Chains A and B, each alone.
Chain A
């Protein structure tokens, strides 16, 4: 018997959601709201798996409506927001790095090792720094480098990439890339991602119908997927276990899996799951056959792509069992229809491989779990 999904409603529209990536003990998600009229909020939502309950703390985000949100890979307390605000007839944008601050004074903020005390312990968020770039006026997203003890971040905006080093909380510009122009117009990057393999030497950017990957060492494009979707590419994700596999999604309602060494054609396509634009797609960080996608058809879809995953025979592969076990076939696991509005974000928990959160524009967060049959099928 499956647990019912947990639903948590925000009072404001919201677009961004991210897991607390560096927190490996508890499933926590950070959500940022988007409202022009009211003060925006940051919600820290903790999912208690045992009691199937949600605990949440709300922080005020005074700078404006949040367009992008991402937590650090190294420090569970750190996260970044990209925001815009309307002041004096002008729309301003900015990017800041925040830190959760615990209320008990005896627990020093530096003591990051012990964090099982629950979200209620956090009293406020402190601004750590403001990221501003000499090259980019409007920062649309900030990507933490997914490498331990590496404080580099990539900033996207205005058709440019800018690499920063945040060592000692200083913003120190390293170098920047310009996205290739198309017909004289600079392309707008819809999304960017670090390639987590090879100690994150590459950064992939989706712009228009293409995906371009930049190599940090040679400072040149590494691989390119041209016209990989019929319309805009909305999101991309690297397979955490297979170094050349990327998944993309876009306005043509498709989710495509690519091998970056073979950029001409996708290795697999999910065609019939979504009936409108697909806004987000994620590999499960532990079992990469589980792929989530969400879209403006208000659906969240969980697929099993065992055939192209790093575990094509299930979890355990013993030499003797090899011939007995057939290669697992791909299948649609579930379609979650708890949302009423467009779902713009879906994220796996960083701590628990089996739970995930999705966020729709009307401010509804739904936390779901992978069906037990699928879970046991993968584990056993």
Chain B
């Protein structure tokens, strides 16, 4: 044992060194070691080694002695210990034997007891079973009574739970008389309960939670879910329909169910404003609807897909009619003045819808709602367009009144002329202000804190299409078109032509629009609504201004024609009505001519207040006002001399030649020609029309001597006063010359008046 112990120790300490020359190795070979030492070491070294060796041997000896001693001691003590143990074990053995015998006793006793108790235990268990059965039976027998009680107290849910517990048992023991009796009773009661439940269910006044309870119970009683859904929905529909009816009653008139209005007889609160309407709609209908949906979902959540489909169609149908009502109401307000109210109503509507959307994510409420909002917005835009157009028409009527009224009362020209410019400005600014206010109103739709303004429609299409195109652009076009209608001669304007002053005013207005207002309005719109479709914008504005310009031009031409025609009508009637053959010697200028000049002067003032002077042809030095008569006489003398030649048959050729040559040098005059936007151009147009009329009328008459002279006087008078209105006085000269020469042709006794006399007569006038 020890060797083993040490061996291991040796192996551990000297493991691997089996060198026979190593003195500590177990394989140590003394002979070899000695030989080696003898060979390798010197004598002294050997001596030292021998000493060393001796010393080591000695120490090793002493160590061994102590070791042996110690081991001996330990061996002694171990022997003592083993002896003690032997003694103790012997004692223990006796006690163990005692224990074993005791245990055997206990086992025996135990089995004995067990045997005695065995019978009783079986009995007890049997008894317990019977007891529980009896208890159940008792419950069953008591069930109808309990159910009855529950029915009486209205605790339907307890009743139902009781019934549900016993239902299977009863069904199982149906064949036994007593059980089937109970079952029949129970079923009767339960049926009663069911009918009661259904009654509550159908009762219009029962509340939503009550309903929910009913439905829950009925479901548990195994009523078919689909049917219940239907009934439930039917029921909630009643209530929601009531809400709708109420809303409907707030519509002042109706396009459908016309009779319901009378049935409800709610005429006293016929008109509530849109906001309130929406409020009522949201609070009444929408919240009830949400409740219904929530309750329904709770009740029928575990049911099949059919129920949810049913719900969907139900909700959709109701919402549709609701939307219908809302839209109708909103549309009724599409012409209302209070845009803010409409916008707020819409906003509220939108918010409520957003709140509702979470209930039924599968239903596309928002698209419908959005569509309504878009439609309303569009309708509002249409309304504003119409309102603008109406306003414009009102402006026109006002202007028309303003023009026609002072003429009647005051008659004199000065206040009228003052009015015209003011009128143009006030009309223009009124229109502009109206446009601005409309823009501001419409802008409410896009304000940030309005919820629906962040719909994609409102960011782009609304401002671009509806505001810009529908309202502004079409308004401008409308102005242009309306004004154009004023100068539509071909369409047969049978009833009252517009007064010339109005045409003038409108042409100026239109010109203003062309030059800046139209562009300004467009830019304003673009700025306010942040529209940045650059290329289209310029195109449209260019197109619009061009259109406006054309309209202004046409209005102006129309004005020139109108005033020209009114002057020429005076001239024509005056020429046609008179018997020129037998007229007396002229003493004065005819009153008509004075009136013509007066009228033209007045027109000139009107035009002057609105249009600038314009270009005049450089005046020849001798055409200034005062020297003019002399000049004219000399000219007319010359000319008349040439016409007198008509008498002499020989000189006819010369005459026609002469007049032709004269015409060669004078330019062709376009009588109803284009007009520029300047006073002189306008007045030239009017004067030309008047004089040409005079010419044509003269050619249709036959003149006596004094007739010719009277005409000479008239022409001279006209020449005196008309030259200053026109751009090129030669036009006046030329036309008047032609009038006189035609008159000479048409005169049976062409004796001209002395120019000096003409002068005198005209001076007197």
Do A and B originate from a single complex?
yes
Q: What is the interface of chain A, defined by CB distance below 8 A to chain B?
A: 9, 11-13, 35-38, 84, 86, 89, 91, 226-228, 230-231, 252-254, 256, 264-266, 269, 271, 274-277, 296-298, 337, 340-342, 361-363
> Which residues of the other chain, B, contact A231 by a CB distance below 8 angstroms?
565, 569
Task: Give, as a whole number of angstroms, the nearest-CB distance from B420 to chain A.
Answer: 25
Interface centre among A36, A254, A363 (most CB of B within 10 A): A36
The CA of A9 and the CA of B652, in the complex, are separated in Å by 12
Q: Provide a sorted-by-A list of 16 A–B residue pairs whose CB atoms are within 8 angstroms.
A: A11-B656, A36-B702, A36-B748, A37-B748, A38-B649, A86-B581, A227-B494, A252-B565, A256-B490, A266-B492, A269-B490, A276-B671, A276-B692, A277-B696, A362-B659, A362-B660
Given contacts A38-B649, A91-B581, A362-B660, 14 further A-B contacts (CB under 8 A): A11-B653, A37-B647, A89-B581, A91-B702, A266-B492, A271-B489, A275-B671, A275-B673, A276-B672, A296-B671, A298-B668, A340-B660, A340-B663, A361-B699
Task: Give, as a whole number of angstroms, the nearest-CB distance from B602 to chain A.
Answer: 22
Q: A230 touches which one: B489, B664, B747 (CB < 8 A)?
A: B489
> Which residues of the other chain, A, contact B15 by a CB distance below 8 angstroms?
none
Contact (Cβ within 8 A) A36 B670: no
| A-B contact number at CB 8 A | 75
Q: A265 touches which one: B491, B646, B692 (CB < 8 A)?
A: B491
The CA of A269 and the CA of B652, in the complex, are separated in Å by 41
The CA of A89 and the CA of B663, in the complex, are separated in Å by 33
Task: Give, as a whole number of angstroms, the nearest-CB distance from A254 to chain B.
Answer: 6
Interface centre among A12, A254, A341 (most CB of B within 10 A): A341
> Which residues of the other chain, B, contact A11 by a CB distance below 8 angstroms?
652-653, 656
- A252-B489 contact in complex given A13-B745, A91-B702, C-beta closer than 8 Å: yes
The CA of A91 and the CA of B673, in the complex, are separated in Å by 38
Interface set, chain B 36-82, CB cutoff 8 A to A: none
Which residue of chain B has its CB nearest to the CB of A84?
Answer: B702
Q: B492 touches which one: A13, A86, A253, A264 (CB < 8 A)?
A: A264
Contact (Cβ within 8 A) A254 B745: no
> Which residues of the other chain, B, contact A275 by a CB distance below 8 angstroms?
670-673
Chain B interface extent, by class:
20 to 34
Chain A facing B: main interface SS: loop
The CA of A363 and the CA of B672, in the complex, are separated in Å by 24
- A362-B656 contact in complex given A36-B702, A275-B670, C-beta closer than 8 Å: yes
The CA of A9 and the CA of B692, in the complex, are separated in Å by 24
Interface membership of B746, Cβ < 8 A: yes
Interface set, chain B 694-710, CB cutoff 8 A to A: 696, 699, 702
Q: B671 touches which one: A226, A297, A340, A341 (CB < 8 A)?
A: A297
Contact (Cβ within 8 A) B747 A36: yes
Q: A36 touches which one: B660, B671, B672, B746 (CB < 8 A)?
A: B746
Q: B692 touches which one: A264, A296, A361 (CB < 8 A)?
A: A296
Interface set, chain B 320-357, CB cutoff 8 A to A: none
The CA of A226 and the CA of B663, in the complex, are separated in Å by 39
6 closest cross-chain pairs (CB), A and B: A269-B490, A276-B671, A275-B670, A275-B672, A86-B748, A340-B663
The CA of A253 and the CA of B565, in the complex, are separated in Å by 11
Task: Give, as a whole number of angstroms, the nearest-CB distance from B667 to chain A.
Answer: 12
Task: Give, as a whole number of angstroms, the nearest-CB distance from B490 to chain A.
Answer: 4
Q: What is the interface of chain B, defined by CB distance below 8 A to chain A?
A: 489-494, 565, 569, 581, 646-647, 649, 652-653, 656, 659-660, 663-664, 668, 670-673, 692, 696, 699, 702, 745-748
Q: A38 touches which one: B494, B652, B673, B699 (CB < 8 A)?
A: B652
The CA of A75 and the CA of B122, in the complex, are separated in Å by 154
> Which residues of the other chain, A, contact B656 by a CB distance below 8 angstroms?
9, 11, 362-363
The CA of A298 and the CA of B565, in the complex, are separated in Å by 19
Q: A342 touches which one: B673, B696, B747 (CB < 8 A)?
A: B696
Contact (Cβ within 8 A) B670 A254: no
Q: A254 touches which one: B489, B565, B659 (CB < 8 A)?
A: B489
Task: Give, as a whole number of angstroms, the nearest-CB distance from A294 to chain B.
Answer: 13
Contact (Cβ within 8 A) A254 B490: yes
Contact (Cβ within 8 A) A230 B565: yes
Interface centre among A35, A256, A276 (most CB of B within 10 A): A276
The CA of A363 and the CA of B649, in the complex, are separated in Å by 16
> Which residues of the other chain, A, contact B663 by a CB distance below 8 angstroms?
340-341
The CA of A84 and the CA of B490, in the complex, are separated in Å by 36
- A266-B490 contact in complex given A230-B565, A340-B660, C-beta closer than 8 Å: yes
> Which residues of the other chain, A, contact B672 by a CB distance below 8 angstroms?
253, 274-276, 297
The CA of A226 and the CA of B565, in the complex, are separated in Å by 19
The CA of A372 and the CA of B257, in the complex, are separated in Å by 72
> Which residues of the other chain, B, contact A226 by a CB distance below 8 angstroms?
494
Contact (Cβ within 8 A) A271 B490: yes
The CA of A75 and the CA of B77, in the complex, are separated in Å by 186
> Which residues of the other chain, A, contact B748 by a CB distance below 8 angstroms?
36-37, 86
> Which residues of the other chain, B, contact A276 by a CB distance below 8 angstroms?
671-672, 692
> Which residues of the other chain, A, contact B647 by a CB distance below 8 angstroms?
37
Which residue of chain B has its CB nearest to the CB of A256?
Answer: B490
Task: Give, as a whole number of angstroms, the nearest-CB distance from B554 to chain A.
Answer: 11
The CA of A227 and the CA of B493, in the complex, are separated in Å by 9
Which residue of chain B has its CB nearest to the CB of A265?
Answer: B492
The CA of A79 and the CA of B580, in the complex, are separated in Å by 31
The CA of A53 and the CA of B531, in the complex, are separated in Å by 71
The CA of A298 and the CA of B493, in the complex, are separated in Å by 28
> Which residues of the other chain, B, contact A269 by a CB distance below 8 angstroms?
490
> Which residues of the other chain, B, contact A91 by a CB distance below 8 angstroms?
581, 702
Which residue of chain B has its CB nearest to the CB of A344?
Answer: B699
The CA of A84 and the CA of B663, in the complex, are separated in Å by 29
Task: Give, as a whole number of angstroms, the nearest-CB distance from B523 to chain A.
Answer: 35
Which residue of chain A has its CB nearest to the CB of B745?
Answer: A13
Contact (Cβ within 8 A) B649 A297: no
Task: Give, as a whole number of angstroms, the nearest-CB distance from A318 to chain B.
Answer: 35
The CA of A35 and the CA of B670, in the complex, are separated in Å by 27
The CA of A37 and the CA of B660, in the complex, are separated in Å by 20
Task: Give, as a whole number of angstroms, the nearest-CB distance from A280 to chain B.
Answer: 14
> Which residues of the other chain, A, contact B670 by a CB distance below 8 angstroms?
275, 297
The CA of A145 and the CA of B161, in the complex, are separated in Å by 113
Task: Give, as a whole number of angstroms, the nearest-CB distance from A229 to chain B.
Answer: 9
Task: Give, as a whole number of angstroms, the nearest-CB distance from B656 to chain A.
Answer: 6
> Which residues of the other chain, B, contact A266 by a CB distance below 8 angstroms?
490, 492
